[in-house]
Amino acid sequence: MPDEKIVIGADTKHPLDGMLTIPPDVSGPVPAVVMVHGSGPSNMDGQVGKNHPLKDFAEGLSEKGIAVLRYDKRTFIYGKEMKNDKGLSVKEETIEDAILAANLLRYEPRIDADKIFIMGHSMGGMLAPRIDAEGGNFAGIIILAGSPRTLEEIMMDQNNTVLKSLNRFVKWIAKKQVAALASKFENIYNLSDEEAKDTFVFGKNLRAYYFKEMGEHPSQMYLRDLNKPVFILQGDKDVQSSVEKDFNGYKNLMGDHSNVTFKLYPNLNHLFMPSIYGDILKAQKEYKVPQKVDKQVINDISNWILAV
């Protein structure tokens, strides 16, 4: 695949290296996808352990005639300086760059400006409807292993799952830590923005404001009235997003919307790769095994895009 190096936000304070993968033998303008990473610092390939899901998607979709733009996440390159920003929110971390990426594609003559899609993975999927509403203006939204819940709900859920598996002595200590975290989360929305900026929720990195700002812009708010095409996908062995609370949560919210397509994949994990352990405690071990994104997922996404 012809990979072309590009820069997102070249004239901003945070330029980011990116890659535009263009289908071979492009004759007319082609549809394109902007890929948005999950939580935490991440490179343009979306590397997790020995896996590179965003790169797999870029290569797979471009073979089907769809251009793909991916780029390093801002916290991956500028994380050290961003840590000190009291007002850090998903806006600076993710949203602004995804909108810059979409605008960059709009001025690319080989791209069909009316067929630019956003494809968000995990937290990128949670944010995709907001990115669209705040300036992305996409032709359609693809949500991979996202969630309609708040970030703190998901984190508490994951903590409680881990808690259940601990031995009695460790559980007693961990229970107190999880309870302390829960009470911090419960208080977030009672804080003013200024108070939230001065309150740490985790160590000396994550401040309450990050959660408050995100929680005050829930994806449900954007999805409810959305009438553009939406494709929601998840693996049924995903231990980070819950089929019951996340995939079915989207269904409860939008199941009667004719513009929304849902697909659940048997035996695929959070990266849309074959599940090995299906256990949240072994997620890191699972991601150390090099695998590829399942071909069926790539086929389904490309068919969906080409049919829009």
List pLDDT tens digits, range 91-108.
Answer: 999 999 999 999 999 999
pLDDT of amino acid 181: 81
Active site residue 270: yes
pLDDT of amino acid 26: 80
Catalytic residue among 132, 147, 270, 294: 270
Catalytic residue among 56, 72, 97, 238: 238
pLDDT digits (tens, 9 = 90+) for 233-281: 999 999 999 999 999 999 999 989 999 999 999 999 999 999 999 988 8
| Mean pLDDT calculated for residue range 202-213 | 87
Position of tokens 């829960």?
182
More confident residue, 175 or 94: 94
Active site residue 121: no
Angle at which helix 151-164 crosses helix 168-187, to 10 degrees, equals 170
Active site residue 122: yes
pLDDT of amino acid 167: 74
The strands making up 3-8's β-sheet, listed across from edge to edge, are 3-8, 16-21, 67-71, 30-36, 111-121, 140-144, 230-235, 260-265
**Phi, psi values for residue 115, rounded to 5°:** -125, 50
Give residues with Cβ within 8 angstroms of 172, minimum separation 6. Answer: none
Residue 126 pLDDT level (bands cut at 50, 70, 90): very high
Catalytic residue among 122, 147, 241, 302: 122
Residue 69 pLDDT level (bands cut at 50, 70, 90): very high
Average confidence score pLDDT of the chain = 93
DSSP 241-267: S-IIIIIHHHHHHHTT-TTEEEEEETT
Q: Which domains does the chain have, with CATH numbers?
A: 3-148+218-307 (3.40.50.1820), 151-209 (no CATH)
Residue 84 pLDDT level (bands cut at 50, 70, 90): confident
